[in-house]
Amino acid sequence: MARKAKGRAIPKTLLLEPGLRAGAGRTLEVRNQHSEIISFRYGVPTMKRVAIYLRVSTNSGQTVENQRMALQEAAGRHRWLIVAEYADEGISGSGGRQKRPAFDRLCQAVARREIDIVAAWSVDRLGRSLQDLVSFLGDLNAKGVDLYLHQQGLDTSTPSGRAMFNMLGVFAEFERAMIIERVRAGLARARAEGKRLGRPRLSAEKERRVRRLLADGIGIQRTARMAGVGVSAVQRIKNRR
């Protein structure tokens, strides 16, 4: 029943392989780390399924072992079943899910509703952006999956945890509004100072060279390489012709 994660047996916590179910009308009984008998009746476990997410940043000199131990102990106290473990080691949290393969697999497990709770060491392990975090929490909420954050003591399966979730949404909206306001203020200040916004214009000499190359029948990409300009600039000049 127990499996190994990266060559190590996960101690003290029962592991249930994703997709394992008792047959309809049957009862499957297993024993957890507290020597308690856990029953799975009609294919539905009587304990919540939790997926652990672990991450340490690039060049941090740390490992995920401390996070793993703390979350396993928390799962034992809450009588949760650890069904999966996802670890991004040496990966920054500033990137999206496409840059964190384990986090991407976690999101897929959430989408397939293979788990009931996501457990992480701290909020910054899930990501560095409040907007990304709230987006992830929204995905969890849509699938009815709860979140447990060990350091912050946040458990969205409780009333206080759900209230904190709503507060995070408010702060994320505030952050988005502040970013938009700063961008608009910066653009207005640049215009007031007479600065030209957007990409710089090509010099007259480069534009003449582009026109000559195009007139000689040379393609757009080759013209861009020969003139030392961007392909989009060549395309604009060609369209004007």
pLDDT values of the chain reduced to their tens digit, one per residue, 241 residues:
444 444 444 334 444 443 333 334 444 444 545 544 444 444 444 578 999 999 987 655 678 888 999 999 999 998 899 999 999 887 776 666 778 899 999 999 999 999 999 999 888 888 777 667 777 888 888 898 999 989 888 888 888 877 776 776 666 666 667 778 888 888 888 888 887 776 677 788 888 888 888 888 888 888 888 888 888 888 888 887 6
pLDDT of residue 13: 40
pLDDT of residue 106: 93
Residue 15 near residue 80, CB atoms below 8 Å? no
Counting beta carbons within 10 angstroms of the beta carbon of residue 60, is it exposed (0 to 12), middle (13 to 18) or buried (19 or more)? exposed
pLDDT of residue 2: 43
Confidence (pTM): 0.54
Residue 57 is a catalytic residue: yes
What single-letter DSSP state applies at residue 218?
Answer: -
Residue 231 near residue 224, CB atoms below 8 Å? yes
pLDDT of residue 20: 39
What is the C-alpha to C-alpha distance for residues 221 and 236, in angstroms, rounded to an integer?
13
Of 57, 92, 129, 135, the catalytic one is: 57
